[in-house]
Chains A and B, each alone.
Chain A
Amino acid sequence: MNSDLQDLLEQWEPVIGLEVHVQLATKSKAFSSSAVRFGASPNSLTDPVVLGMPGTLPAFNRAALVLALKLGVATGSKIRARARFARKHYFYPDQPKGYQISQYDEPLCEGGTLEIIHAGAVRRVKLTRIHLEEDAGKNMHVGAFSHVDLNRAGVPLVEVVSAPEMHSADEAAEFMRSLHRLVRWLDISEADMEKGQMRCDANVSVRLRGEDRLGTRTELKNINSFKFVQHAIEHEIVRQVRMLDRGERIVQETRLWDADAGTSQPMRSKETAEDYRYFPDPDLPPVVVDGPMMAATLGAIPELPVVRFERYMRVHEMSADDARTLVGDRALADYFERALEAHSGAKSGRIIANWMLTELLGALNANGQTIAASPMPPERLAAVVELVEKGVISGKIGKEVFEESFKTGDPPMAIVVRRGVQQISDEHKLAEVIEQVVIANPQQVQGYQSGKDNLFGFFVGQVMKLTNGRANPVITSDLLHKRLGR
Protein backbone atom coordinates (compact mmCIF):
# COMPACT_ATOMS: atom_id res chain seq x y z
CA MET A 1 0.00 0.00 0.00
CA ASN A 2 1.53 3.28 -0.98
CA SER A 3 1.63 6.27 1.29
CA ASP A 4 -1.07 8.40 -0.34
CA LEU A 5 -3.44 5.48 0.15
CA GLN A 6 -2.33 5.23 3.77
CA ASP A 7 -3.20 8.89 4.15
CA LEU A 8 -6.60 8.31 2.58
CA LEU A 9 -7.32 5.42 4.94
CA GLU A 10 -6.55 7.68 7.84
CA GLN A 11 -9.43 9.85 6.68
CA TRP A 12 -11.79 7.08 5.58
CA GLU A 13 -13.16 4.25 7.66
CA PRO A 14 -14.23 1.04 5.94
CA VAL A 15 -17.44 -0.59 7.19
CA ILE A 16 -17.92 -4.25 6.36
CA GLY A 17 -20.78 -6.68 6.89
CA LEU A 18 -20.72 -10.31 5.83
CA GLU A 19 -23.41 -12.71 4.71
CA VAL A 20 -22.12 -16.23 5.01
CA HIS A 21 -23.96 -19.28 3.73
CA VAL A 22 -23.09 -22.52 5.49
CA GLN A 23 -24.41 -25.89 4.34
CA LEU A 24 -25.71 -27.96 7.22
CA ALA A 25 -24.26 -31.46 7.55
CA THR A 26 -27.45 -33.45 7.10
CA LYS A 27 -27.91 -36.74 5.30
CA SER A 28 -31.02 -35.64 3.42
CA LYS A 29 -32.19 -32.34 1.98
CA ALA A 30 -33.96 -29.57 3.84
CA PHE A 31 -37.43 -30.31 2.53
CA SER A 32 -37.27 -33.80 1.07
CA SER A 33 -35.55 -37.09 1.73
CA SER A 34 -33.36 -36.81 -1.37
CA ALA A 35 -29.79 -37.62 -0.31
CA VAL A 36 -27.03 -35.03 0.15
CA ARG A 37 -23.56 -35.86 -1.14
CA PHE A 38 -20.73 -33.92 -2.72
CA GLY A 39 -19.37 -34.97 -6.09
CA ALA A 40 -22.22 -37.23 -7.24
CA SER A 41 -22.91 -37.42 -10.98
CA PRO A 42 -25.22 -34.65 -12.28
CA ASN A 43 -28.90 -34.82 -11.35
CA SER A 44 -28.46 -38.11 -9.53
CA LEU A 45 -29.57 -36.69 -6.17
CA THR A 46 -33.06 -35.48 -6.90
CA ASP A 47 -36.67 -36.41 -6.39
CA PRO A 48 -39.96 -34.81 -7.44
CA VAL A 49 -39.71 -32.27 -4.60
CA VAL A 50 -36.19 -31.18 -5.54
CA LEU A 51 -37.24 -30.90 -9.19
CA GLY A 52 -40.18 -28.71 -8.16
CA MET A 53 -42.62 -31.02 -9.88
CA PRO A 54 -46.32 -30.14 -9.84
CA GLY A 55 -48.11 -31.32 -6.72
CA THR A 56 -45.03 -31.76 -4.55
CA LEU A 57 -44.80 -30.31 -1.05
CA PRO A 58 -41.93 -29.62 1.36
CA ALA A 59 -41.45 -31.63 4.58
CA PHE A 60 -38.86 -30.13 6.89
CA ASN A 61 -35.78 -32.01 8.11
CA ARG A 62 -35.40 -32.11 11.89
CA ALA A 63 -31.60 -32.34 11.67
CA ALA A 64 -31.43 -29.03 9.81
CA LEU A 65 -33.32 -27.34 12.62
CA VAL A 66 -31.17 -28.95 15.30
CA LEU A 67 -27.94 -27.83 13.61
CA ALA A 68 -29.15 -24.28 13.02
CA LEU A 69 -30.34 -24.13 16.58
CA LYS A 70 -26.91 -25.24 17.80
CA LEU A 71 -25.29 -22.35 15.95
CA GLY A 72 -27.91 -19.97 17.31
CA VAL A 73 -27.27 -21.08 20.89
CA ALA A 74 -23.48 -21.07 20.46
CA THR A 75 -23.63 -17.47 19.25
CA GLY A 76 -25.93 -16.40 22.07
CA SER A 77 -28.67 -15.54 19.60
CA LYS A 78 -32.25 -14.98 20.59
CA ILE A 79 -34.18 -18.04 19.39
CA ARG A 80 -37.63 -17.27 18.04
CA ALA A 81 -40.27 -19.47 19.64
CA ARG A 82 -42.26 -19.56 16.37
CA ALA A 83 -40.07 -18.96 13.35
CA ARG A 84 -41.53 -18.97 9.88
CA PHE A 85 -40.46 -19.96 6.41
CA ALA A 86 -41.08 -17.52 3.60
CA ARG A 87 -40.87 -17.83 -0.15
CA LYS A 88 -38.31 -15.66 -1.93
CA HIS A 89 -39.15 -15.41 -5.61
CA TYR A 90 -36.80 -15.14 -8.52
CA PHE A 91 -36.51 -16.93 -11.81
CA TYR A 92 -33.23 -18.71 -12.39
CA PRO A 93 -32.52 -22.15 -13.83
CA ASP A 94 -30.85 -23.41 -10.65
CA GLN A 95 -33.98 -22.53 -8.65
CA PRO A 96 -36.51 -25.22 -9.57
CA LYS A 97 -39.65 -23.80 -7.98
CA GLY A 98 -39.16 -20.21 -9.06
CA TYR A 99 -38.79 -19.42 -5.38
CA GLN A 100 -36.40 -20.33 -2.63
CA ILE A 101 -37.75 -21.41 0.72
CA SER A 102 -36.02 -19.05 3.11
CA GLN A 103 -36.88 -16.96 6.13
CA TYR A 104 -37.80 -13.31 6.03
CA ASP A 105 -39.21 -11.28 8.89
CA GLU A 106 -39.45 -14.15 11.37
CA PRO A 107 -36.01 -15.85 11.25
CA LEU A 108 -34.93 -18.57 13.68
CA CYS A 109 -32.12 -16.56 15.34
CA GLU A 110 -31.49 -12.88 15.89
CA GLY A 111 -29.05 -10.66 17.71
CA GLY A 112 -26.24 -13.04 18.63
CA THR A 113 -22.52 -12.41 18.52
CA LEU A 114 -19.65 -14.21 16.90
CA GLU A 115 -16.48 -14.12 18.94
CA ILE A 116 -13.55 -13.80 16.62
CA ILE A 117 -9.85 -14.12 17.35
CA HIS A 118 -8.27 -11.04 15.87
CA ALA A 119 -4.76 -9.70 16.55
CA GLY A 120 -4.22 -12.24 19.35
CA ALA A 121 -7.32 -11.26 21.29
CA VAL A 122 -11.00 -12.12 21.31
CA ARG A 123 -13.39 -9.59 19.82
CA ARG A 124 -17.16 -9.82 19.55
CA VAL A 125 -18.93 -9.11 16.25
CA LYS A 126 -22.70 -8.66 16.37
CA LEU A 127 -24.86 -10.91 14.26
CA THR A 128 -28.02 -9.48 12.80
CA ARG A 129 -29.59 -12.88 12.21
CA ILE A 130 -29.10 -16.52 11.37
CA HIS A 131 -31.81 -18.01 9.20
CA LEU A 132 -32.58 -21.31 7.52
CA GLU A 133 -32.99 -21.73 3.80
CA GLU A 134 -32.44 -24.16 0.96
CA ASP A 135 -29.51 -24.12 -1.45
CA ALA A 136 -29.90 -23.73 -5.20
CA GLY A 137 -28.54 -26.08 -7.86
CA LYS A 138 -25.65 -25.25 -10.13
CA ASN A 139 -25.52 -23.69 -13.58
CA MET A 140 -22.53 -24.44 -15.77
CA HIS A 141 -21.77 -22.37 -18.83
CA VAL A 142 -21.02 -24.17 -22.06
CA GLY A 143 -20.82 -21.87 -25.06
CA ALA A 144 -24.25 -20.73 -26.17
CA PHE A 145 -25.94 -22.85 -23.52
CA SER A 146 -25.89 -23.41 -19.81
CA HIS A 147 -26.28 -26.77 -18.14
CA VAL A 148 -28.20 -27.23 -14.92
CA ASP A 149 -27.40 -29.77 -12.22
CA LEU A 150 -29.85 -29.88 -9.32
CA ASN A 151 -27.94 -32.18 -6.96
CA ARG A 152 -27.24 -29.25 -4.66
CA ALA A 153 -30.78 -27.87 -4.87
CA GLY A 154 -32.53 -28.19 -1.54
CA VAL A 155 -29.46 -28.77 0.61
CA PRO A 156 -30.12 -27.05 3.93
CA LEU A 157 -28.22 -23.84 4.63
CA VAL A 158 -27.95 -21.28 7.33
CA GLU A 159 -27.30 -17.74 6.30
CA VAL A 160 -25.30 -15.92 8.96
CA VAL A 161 -25.59 -12.16 8.61
CA SER A 162 -23.18 -9.98 10.56
CA ALA A 163 -23.90 -6.42 11.54
CA PRO A 164 -21.93 -3.92 9.47
CA GLU A 165 -19.34 -3.39 12.13
CA MET A 166 -16.05 -4.72 10.89
CA HIS A 167 -13.48 -2.20 9.76
CA SER A 168 -10.78 -4.06 7.87
CA ALA A 169 -10.43 -6.84 5.36
CA ASP A 170 -8.28 -8.62 7.87
CA GLU A 171 -11.03 -8.54 10.46
CA ALA A 172 -13.57 -9.79 7.92
CA ALA A 173 -11.29 -12.69 7.04
CA GLU A 174 -10.96 -13.49 10.74
CA PHE A 175 -14.74 -13.45 11.02
CA MET A 176 -14.84 -16.09 8.31
CA ARG A 177 -12.13 -18.16 10.00
CA SER A 178 -13.86 -17.93 13.35
CA LEU A 179 -17.21 -18.95 11.91
CA HIS A 180 -15.53 -21.75 9.99
CA ARG A 181 -13.86 -22.97 13.18
CA LEU A 182 -17.11 -22.74 15.15
CA VAL A 183 -19.33 -24.67 12.70
CA ARG A 184 -16.70 -27.38 12.35
CA TRP A 185 -16.19 -27.48 16.12
CA LEU A 186 -19.91 -28.07 16.63
CA ASP A 187 -20.28 -30.56 13.71
CA ILE A 188 -22.77 -28.19 12.11
CA SER A 189 -20.98 -28.27 8.79
CA GLU A 190 -17.79 -29.49 7.23
CA ALA A 191 -17.63 -25.98 5.81
CA ASP A 192 -15.22 -27.01 3.07
CA MET A 193 -14.99 -23.84 1.01
CA GLU A 194 -13.60 -25.65 -2.00
CA LYS A 195 -16.74 -27.76 -2.04
CA GLY A 196 -18.90 -24.67 -1.67
CA GLN A 197 -20.08 -25.76 1.76
CA MET A 198 -19.32 -22.28 3.05
CA ARG A 199 -19.72 -19.21 0.84
CA CYS A 200 -19.41 -15.55 1.52
CA ASP A 201 -20.84 -12.28 0.23
CA ALA A 202 -19.58 -9.00 1.67
CA ASN A 203 -21.19 -5.58 1.95
CA VAL A 204 -18.54 -2.89 1.88
CA SER A 205 -18.81 0.84 2.32
CA VAL A 206 -16.50 3.59 3.53
CA ARG A 207 -17.21 6.80 5.40
CA LEU A 208 -15.22 9.67 6.78
CA ARG A 209 -13.93 8.83 10.20
CA GLY A 210 -16.17 10.27 12.89
CA GLU A 211 -19.20 10.06 10.61
CA ASP A 212 -22.14 8.03 11.99
CA ARG A 213 -24.02 7.45 8.79
CA LEU A 214 -23.05 4.54 6.59
CA GLY A 215 -21.78 5.26 3.10
CA THR A 216 -23.28 3.73 -0.03
CA ARG A 217 -22.44 0.06 -0.03
CA THR A 218 -21.58 -2.42 -2.69
CA GLU A 219 -22.14 -6.15 -2.42
CA LEU A 220 -19.26 -8.42 -3.34
CA LYS A 221 -20.16 -11.91 -4.47
CA ASN A 222 -18.20 -15.05 -5.12
CA ILE A 223 -15.55 -14.61 -2.45
CA ASN A 224 -15.26 -18.20 -1.49
CA SER A 225 -11.92 -18.60 0.25
CA PHE A 226 -10.36 -16.86 3.22
CA LYS A 227 -7.79 -15.39 0.88
CA PHE A 228 -10.41 -14.07 -1.56
CA VAL A 229 -12.41 -12.53 1.27
CA GLN A 230 -9.37 -10.57 2.31
CA HIS A 231 -8.22 -9.62 -1.20
CA ALA A 232 -11.64 -8.74 -2.54
CA ILE A 233 -12.55 -6.55 0.41
CA GLU A 234 -9.15 -4.83 0.42
CA HIS A 235 -9.53 -4.17 -3.28
CA GLU A 236 -13.04 -2.82 -2.82
CA ILE A 237 -12.02 -0.51 0.02
CA VAL A 238 -9.24 0.93 -2.11
CA ARG A 239 -11.55 1.28 -5.11
CA GLN A 240 -14.17 3.15 -3.10
CA VAL A 241 -11.71 5.37 -1.27
CA ARG A 242 -10.05 6.37 -4.52
CA MET A 243 -13.38 7.14 -6.14
CA LEU A 244 -14.54 9.25 -3.22
CA ASP A 245 -11.18 11.00 -3.17
CA ARG A 246 -11.71 11.94 -6.81
CA GLY A 247 -15.13 13.30 -5.87
CA GLU A 248 -17.01 10.43 -7.57
CA ARG A 249 -20.05 8.76 -6.12
CA ILE A 250 -20.32 5.10 -5.16
CA VAL A 251 -23.10 3.27 -6.98
CA GLN A 252 -25.04 0.71 -4.98
CA GLU A 253 -24.44 -2.44 -6.97
CA THR A 254 -23.46 -6.07 -6.83
CA ARG A 255 -19.93 -6.83 -7.93
CA LEU A 256 -18.47 -10.16 -8.84
CA TRP A 257 -14.94 -10.90 -7.62
CA ASP A 258 -12.62 -12.30 -10.26
CA ALA A 259 -9.89 -14.03 -8.29
CA ASP A 260 -7.68 -14.61 -11.31
CA ALA A 261 -7.68 -10.97 -12.33
CA GLY A 262 -7.68 -9.74 -8.75
CA THR A 263 -10.46 -7.29 -9.57
CA SER A 264 -14.22 -7.08 -9.33
CA GLN A 265 -16.75 -6.25 -12.03
CA PRO A 266 -20.30 -5.02 -11.60
CA MET A 267 -22.76 -7.79 -12.37
CA ARG A 268 -24.80 -7.08 -15.46
CA SER A 269 -27.82 -5.16 -14.24
CA LYS A 270 -30.92 -7.27 -14.50
CA GLU A 271 -33.74 -6.61 -16.90
CA THR A 272 -36.03 -6.02 -13.96
CA ALA A 273 -35.55 -4.47 -10.59
CA GLU A 274 -35.24 -7.11 -7.87
CA ASP A 275 -38.49 -7.71 -6.08
CA TYR A 276 -38.46 -11.00 -4.25
CA ARG A 277 -42.14 -10.83 -3.31
CA TYR A 278 -41.61 -12.55 0.03
CA PHE A 279 -44.62 -14.05 1.74
CA PRO A 280 -45.01 -16.70 4.46
CA ASP A 281 -44.89 -20.16 2.88
CA PRO A 282 -48.42 -21.57 3.17
CA ASP A 283 -47.07 -25.13 2.87
CA LEU A 284 -45.05 -24.83 6.08
CA PRO A 285 -46.61 -24.06 9.48
CA PRO A 286 -44.44 -22.17 11.99
CA VAL A 287 -41.26 -23.85 13.25
CA VAL A 288 -41.70 -24.28 16.96
CA VAL A 289 -38.66 -24.79 19.16
CA ASP A 290 -39.98 -26.40 22.29
CA GLY A 291 -38.42 -26.72 25.75
CA PRO A 292 -37.02 -30.23 25.37
CA MET A 293 -35.38 -29.39 22.04
CA MET A 294 -33.87 -26.24 23.50
CA ALA A 295 -32.64 -28.14 26.57
CA ALA A 296 -31.11 -30.87 24.41
CA THR A 297 -29.34 -28.27 22.31
CA LEU A 298 -27.99 -26.43 25.32
CA GLY A 299 -26.77 -29.71 26.80
CA ALA A 300 -24.98 -30.62 23.58
CA ILE A 301 -22.86 -27.46 23.35
CA PRO A 302 -19.26 -28.22 24.36
CA GLU A 303 -16.69 -25.68 25.56
CA LEU A 304 -16.39 -23.35 22.58
CA PRO A 305 -13.09 -22.72 20.77
CA VAL A 306 -12.78 -19.10 21.82
CA VAL A 307 -13.25 -20.04 25.46
CA ARG A 308 -10.54 -22.64 25.12
CA PHE A 309 -8.31 -20.16 23.34
CA GLU A 310 -8.48 -17.83 26.29
CA ARG A 311 -7.99 -20.62 28.80
CA TYR A 312 -4.91 -21.90 26.95
CA MET A 313 -3.36 -18.47 27.12
CA ARG A 314 -4.38 -17.71 30.69
CA VAL A 315 -3.95 -21.06 32.43
CA HIS A 316 -1.32 -22.70 30.27
CA GLU A 317 0.56 -19.56 29.31
CA MET A 318 0.61 -20.44 25.66
CA SER A 319 1.35 -17.87 23.01
CA ALA A 320 -1.72 -16.56 21.15
CA ASP A 321 -0.47 -18.25 17.99
CA ASP A 322 -0.10 -21.66 19.63
CA ALA A 323 -3.46 -21.36 21.38
CA ARG A 324 -5.12 -20.34 18.13
CA THR A 325 -3.56 -23.22 16.24
CA LEU A 326 -4.77 -25.70 18.84
CA VAL A 327 -8.36 -24.45 18.78
CA GLY A 328 -8.30 -24.22 15.00
CA ASP A 329 -9.28 -27.86 14.89
CA ARG A 330 -11.50 -29.52 17.43
CA ALA A 331 -9.63 -32.82 17.06
CA LEU A 332 -6.33 -31.08 17.81
CA ALA A 333 -7.71 -29.25 20.82
CA ASP A 334 -9.37 -32.40 22.13
CA TYR A 335 -6.08 -34.29 21.69
CA PHE A 336 -4.42 -31.66 23.77
CA GLU A 337 -7.08 -31.97 26.48
CA ARG A 338 -6.62 -35.74 26.68
CA ALA A 339 -2.82 -35.48 26.81
CA LEU A 340 -3.13 -32.90 29.53
CA GLU A 341 -5.44 -35.16 31.47
CA ALA A 342 -2.89 -37.98 31.27
CA HIS A 343 -0.07 -35.77 32.49
CA SER A 344 -1.10 -32.66 34.30
CA GLY A 345 1.94 -30.93 35.75
CA ALA A 346 1.97 -27.21 36.45
CA LYS A 347 3.77 -26.30 33.24
CA SER A 348 2.81 -29.39 31.29
CA GLY A 349 0.18 -27.64 29.16
CA ARG A 350 2.62 -25.41 27.42
CA ILE A 351 5.15 -28.23 27.04
CA ILE A 352 2.59 -30.67 25.66
CA ALA A 353 1.43 -27.99 23.21
CA ASN A 354 5.02 -27.56 22.04
CA TRP A 355 5.44 -31.27 21.50
CA MET A 356 2.14 -31.47 19.66
CA LEU A 357 2.76 -28.52 17.39
CA THR A 358 6.32 -29.52 16.49
CA GLU A 359 6.93 -33.27 16.87
CA LEU A 360 3.42 -34.65 16.51
CA LEU A 361 2.15 -32.42 13.69
CA GLY A 362 5.54 -32.81 11.96
CA ALA A 363 5.29 -36.59 12.07
CA LEU A 364 1.65 -36.59 11.02
CA ASN A 365 2.32 -34.25 8.09
CA ALA A 366 5.29 -36.33 6.99
CA ASN A 367 3.00 -39.38 6.91
CA GLY A 368 0.02 -37.55 5.42
CA GLN A 369 -2.08 -38.39 8.45
CA THR A 370 -4.63 -36.33 10.35
CA ILE A 371 -4.75 -35.72 14.05
CA ALA A 372 -8.02 -37.62 14.26
CA ALA A 373 -6.28 -40.70 12.83
CA SER A 374 -3.05 -40.21 14.75
CA PRO A 375 -1.20 -43.50 15.40
CA MET A 376 0.12 -41.85 18.53
CA PRO A 377 -2.63 -41.52 21.11
CA PRO A 378 -2.52 -38.49 23.41
CA GLU A 379 -1.74 -40.63 26.46
CA ARG A 380 1.43 -41.86 24.78
CA LEU A 381 2.59 -38.39 23.81
CA ALA A 382 1.95 -37.38 27.41
CA ALA A 383 4.15 -40.27 28.59
CA VAL A 384 7.07 -39.07 26.46
CA VAL A 385 6.66 -35.54 27.80
CA GLU A 386 6.53 -36.86 31.33
CA LEU A 387 9.75 -38.88 30.89
CA VAL A 388 11.54 -35.77 29.70
CA GLU A 389 10.02 -33.53 32.33
CA LYS A 390 11.04 -35.90 35.13
CA GLY A 391 14.54 -36.14 33.77
CA VAL A 392 14.34 -39.86 32.97
CA ILE A 393 15.54 -39.09 29.48
CA SER A 394 16.97 -36.02 27.91
CA GLY A 395 15.00 -33.85 25.51
CA LYS A 396 17.12 -35.09 22.65
CA ILE A 397 16.51 -38.73 23.55
CA GLY A 398 12.87 -37.83 24.07
CA LYS A 399 12.55 -36.91 20.42
CA GLU A 400 14.07 -40.23 19.41
CA VAL A 401 11.74 -42.10 21.75
CA PHE A 402 8.79 -40.16 20.30
CA GLU A 403 9.79 -41.08 16.77
CA GLU A 404 10.18 -44.73 17.60
CA SER A 405 6.94 -44.87 19.53
CA PHE A 406 5.13 -43.07 16.67
CA LYS A 407 6.45 -45.66 14.20
CA THR A 408 6.16 -48.84 16.26
CA GLY A 409 3.35 -48.03 18.64
CA ASP A 410 5.52 -49.24 21.56
CA PRO A 411 5.08 -47.56 24.95
CA PRO A 412 7.78 -44.90 25.49
CA MET A 413 9.05 -46.42 28.73
CA ALA A 414 9.54 -49.79 27.06
CA ILE A 415 11.63 -48.08 24.37
CA VAL A 416 13.69 -46.28 26.98
CA VAL A 417 14.36 -49.51 28.86
CA ARG A 418 15.12 -51.49 25.73
CA ARG A 419 17.52 -48.91 24.42
CA GLY A 420 18.98 -48.30 27.88
CA VAL A 421 18.78 -44.59 27.38
CA GLN A 422 17.68 -43.59 30.84
CA GLN A 423 19.46 -40.44 31.85
CA ILE A 424 22.10 -40.79 34.57
CA SER A 425 21.30 -38.34 37.32
CA ASP A 426 23.00 -40.24 40.16
CA GLU A 427 25.67 -37.86 41.46
CA HIS A 428 27.96 -40.64 42.63
CA LYS A 429 27.95 -42.37 39.31
CA LEU A 430 28.54 -39.11 37.48
CA ALA A 431 31.32 -38.12 39.91
CA GLU A 432 33.08 -41.38 39.09
CA VAL A 433 32.90 -40.70 35.37
CA ILE A 434 34.12 -37.14 35.89
CA GLU A 435 37.04 -38.48 37.90
CA GLN A 436 38.03 -40.74 34.99
CA VAL A 437 37.87 -37.82 32.58
CA VAL A 438 40.00 -35.63 34.83
CA ILE A 439 42.64 -38.34 35.24
CA ALA A 440 42.77 -39.07 31.53
CA ASN A 441 43.13 -35.41 30.49
CA PRO A 442 45.60 -33.60 32.79
CA GLN A 443 46.65 -31.08 30.11
CA GLN A 444 43.09 -29.93 29.49
CA VAL A 445 42.45 -29.66 33.23
CA GLN A 446 45.44 -27.44 33.54
CA GLY A 447 44.42 -25.36 30.53
CA TYR A 448 40.89 -24.84 31.86
CA GLN A 449 42.10 -23.95 35.31
CA SER A 450 44.48 -21.39 33.80
CA GLY A 451 41.54 -19.58 32.18
CA LYS A 452 40.61 -21.36 28.96
CA ASP A 453 36.85 -21.28 29.62
CA ASN A 454 35.96 -22.78 26.32
CA LEU A 455 37.46 -26.09 27.40
CA PHE A 456 34.44 -26.65 29.66
CA GLY A 457 32.49 -28.02 26.74
CA PHE A 458 35.27 -30.53 26.12
CA PHE A 459 34.75 -32.03 29.58
CA VAL A 460 30.98 -32.19 29.12
CA GLY A 461 31.58 -33.92 25.80
CA GLN A 462 33.93 -36.48 27.38
CA VAL A 463 31.39 -37.27 30.10
CA MET A 464 28.68 -37.71 27.45
CA LYS A 465 30.99 -39.93 25.42
CA LEU A 466 31.67 -42.23 28.36
CA THR A 467 27.94 -42.37 29.27
CA ASN A 468 26.65 -42.73 25.74
CA GLY A 469 24.97 -39.35 26.04
CA ARG A 470 22.92 -40.39 29.06
CA ALA A 471 24.50 -38.08 31.62
CA ASN A 472 22.08 -35.52 32.95
CA PRO A 473 23.60 -32.34 31.49
CA VAL A 474 22.54 -30.06 34.32
CA ILE A 475 23.93 -32.25 37.09
CA THR A 476 27.03 -33.03 35.03
CA SER A 477 27.77 -29.38 34.57
CA ASP A 478 27.26 -28.66 38.28
CA LEU A 479 29.59 -31.48 39.29
CA LEU A 480 32.22 -30.48 36.73
CA HIS A 481 32.25 -26.93 38.02
CA LYS A 482 32.76 -28.23 41.54
CA ARG A 483 35.46 -30.73 40.56
CA LEU A 484 37.43 -28.33 38.40
CA GLY A 485 37.08 -25.56 40.90
CA ARG A 486 35.62 -22.95 38.50
Chain B
Amino acid sequence: MPALSRKEVEEIALLARLHLEPDELAQMEIELGAIVEYFAALADVPTEGVPPMTHAVPMDLRLRADEPAPSMSSAEAVAAAPARDGDLFVVPAIIGGGE
Protein backbone atom coordinates (compact mmCIF):
# COMPACT_ATOMS: atom_id res chain seq x y z
CA MET B 1 0.00 0.00 0.00
CA PRO B 2 1.61 3.25 -1.06
CA ALA B 3 1.59 6.31 1.11
CA LEU B 4 -0.82 9.06 0.21
CA SER B 5 -0.18 11.58 -2.53
CA ARG B 6 -0.91 15.27 -2.04
CA LYS B 7 -3.72 14.96 -4.57
CA GLU B 8 -5.28 12.12 -2.62
CA VAL B 9 -5.05 14.10 0.61
CA GLU B 10 -6.80 16.99 -1.09
CA GLU B 11 -9.53 14.70 -2.41
CA ILE B 12 -10.13 13.21 1.01
CA ALA B 13 -10.26 16.68 2.57
CA LEU B 14 -12.88 17.70 0.04
CA LEU B 15 -14.90 14.55 0.64
CA ALA B 16 -14.73 15.25 4.39
CA ARG B 17 -15.53 18.94 3.83
CA LEU B 18 -12.40 20.07 5.67
CA HIS B 19 -10.61 23.16 4.53
CA LEU B 20 -6.90 22.60 5.19
CA GLU B 21 -4.32 25.36 5.10
CA PRO B 22 -1.22 24.64 2.98
CA ASP B 23 0.87 23.81 6.04
CA GLU B 24 -1.84 21.46 7.31
CA LEU B 25 -1.97 19.76 3.93
CA ALA B 26 1.78 19.22 4.00
CA GLN B 27 1.57 17.89 7.56
CA MET B 28 -1.31 15.55 6.69
CA GLU B 29 0.50 14.22 3.66
CA ILE B 30 3.43 13.12 5.81
CA GLU B 31 1.54 11.99 8.89
CA LEU B 32 -1.32 10.21 7.18
CA GLY B 33 1.17 8.53 4.91
CA ALA B 34 3.06 7.21 7.93
CA ILE B 35 -0.12 6.04 9.65
CA VAL B 36 -1.39 4.34 6.51
CA GLU B 37 1.92 2.56 6.14
CA TYR B 38 1.59 1.46 9.72
CA PHE B 39 -1.87 0.07 8.91
CA ALA B 40 -0.34 -2.04 6.17
CA ALA B 41 0.63 -4.69 8.73
CA LEU B 42 -3.04 -5.60 8.99
CA ALA B 43 -3.08 -6.80 5.39
CA ASP B 44 -1.04 -9.83 6.43
CA VAL B 45 -3.47 -10.97 9.12
CA PRO B 46 -5.41 -13.95 7.75
CA THR B 47 -9.09 -13.05 8.01
CA GLU B 48 -10.71 -15.23 5.43
CA GLY B 49 -14.13 -16.33 6.63
CA VAL B 50 -13.87 -14.17 9.76
CA PRO B 51 -17.02 -12.11 10.20
CA PRO B 52 -16.45 -8.39 10.75
CA MET B 53 -17.48 -7.26 14.23
CA THR B 54 -20.03 -4.48 14.06
CA HIS B 55 -21.28 -4.79 17.60
CA ALA B 56 -19.07 -5.70 20.51
CA VAL B 57 -21.95 -7.32 22.36
CA PRO B 58 -24.21 -9.30 20.02
CA MET B 59 -27.84 -8.27 20.34
CA ASP B 60 -30.98 -7.75 18.28
CA LEU B 61 -32.47 -4.35 17.61
CA ARG B 62 -35.13 -3.37 20.12
CA LEU B 63 -38.23 -1.83 18.56
CA ARG B 64 -39.77 1.36 19.89
CA ALA B 65 -43.56 1.71 20.09
CA ASP B 66 -44.91 4.16 17.50
CA GLU B 67 -45.98 6.83 19.97
CA PRO B 68 -45.26 10.45 19.14
CA ALA B 69 -43.83 12.62 21.90
CA PRO B 70 -44.30 16.37 22.11
CA SER B 71 -42.00 18.19 19.72
CA MET B 72 -39.52 20.91 20.55
CA SER B 73 -40.96 24.27 19.56
CA SER B 74 -39.62 25.69 16.33
CA ALA B 75 -38.02 28.49 18.34
CA GLU B 76 -36.13 25.93 20.43
CA ALA B 77 -35.21 23.97 17.31
CA VAL B 78 -33.47 26.90 15.64
CA ALA B 79 -32.23 28.55 18.88
CA ALA B 80 -28.62 27.41 18.43
CA ALA B 81 -28.39 27.99 14.68
CA PRO B 82 -25.64 30.38 13.57
CA ALA B 83 -27.95 31.73 10.84
CA ARG B 84 -31.72 31.68 10.98
CA ASP B 85 -34.71 33.49 9.57
CA GLY B 86 -37.75 33.17 11.79
CA ASP B 87 -38.29 29.47 12.30
CA LEU B 88 -35.98 28.41 9.48
CA PHE B 89 -32.32 27.55 9.26
CA VAL B 90 -30.48 29.60 6.67
CA VAL B 91 -27.62 28.51 4.41
CA PRO B 92 -26.03 30.07 1.35
CA ALA B 93 -28.08 29.41 -1.78
CA ILE B 94 -28.02 25.80 -2.85
CA ILE B 95 -27.19 25.38 -6.48
CA GLY B 96 -27.37 21.93 -7.96
CA GLY B 97 -28.46 18.96 -6.01
CA GLY B 98 -27.57 16.80 -3.10
CA GLU B 99 -29.65 13.72 -2.83
Contact = CB atoms under 8 A, between A and B. Distances in A.
Indicate, yes or no, whether A interacts with B. Answer: yes
B63 A28 contact: no
B23 to A, nearest CB: 23
B37 interface: no
B47 interface: no
Rank and list the top 6 A-B pairs by shortest CB-CB distance, nearest first. Answer: A92-B98, A268-B96, A63-B66, A62-B63, A35-B68, A33-B69
Interface residues of B, number: 39
Interface of B: 11, 14-15, 17, 54-55, 58-69, 71-74, 77-78, 85-99
Contacts of A147: 85, 88-90
B11 A34 contact: no
Given A94-B98, A272-B14, A62 B88 contact: no
Contacts of A27: 66-68
A63 B68 CA distance: 12
B73 A28 contact: no
Contacts of A268: 95-97
B33 to A, nearest CB: 20
14 contacts: A27-B68, A28-B64, A28-B66, A33-B64, A33-B69, A43-B87, A44-B71, A60-B63, A93-B94, A150-B77, A150-B89, A272-B15, A282-B54, A286-B61
A45 B15 contact: no
Nearest to A256: B97
B42 to A, nearest CB: 17
Interface majority SS (helix, strand, loop, mixed), chain A? loop
B68 A44 contact: no
Contacts of A221: 97
Nearest to B91: A93
A269 B96 CA distance: 8
B71 A270 contact: no
A143 B99 CA distance: 21
A277 B16 CA distance: 11
A145 B90 contact: yes
A158 to B, nearest CB: 15
A484 interface: no
A128 B36 CA distance: 37
B68 A33 contact: yes
Interface string A10-28: 0000000000000000111
Given A147-B90, A285-B61, A100 B99 contact: yes
Contacts of B67: 27-28, 33
A288 B71 contact: no
A60 B61 contact: yes
Contact of A146 (B17, B68, B92): B92
Given A44-B71, A282-B54, A148 B88 contact: yes
B89 A148 contact: yes
A271 interface: yes
B74 A41 contact: yes
Nearest to A140: B88
A285 B57 CA distance: 9
A59 B54 CA distance: 17
B59 A285 contact: yes
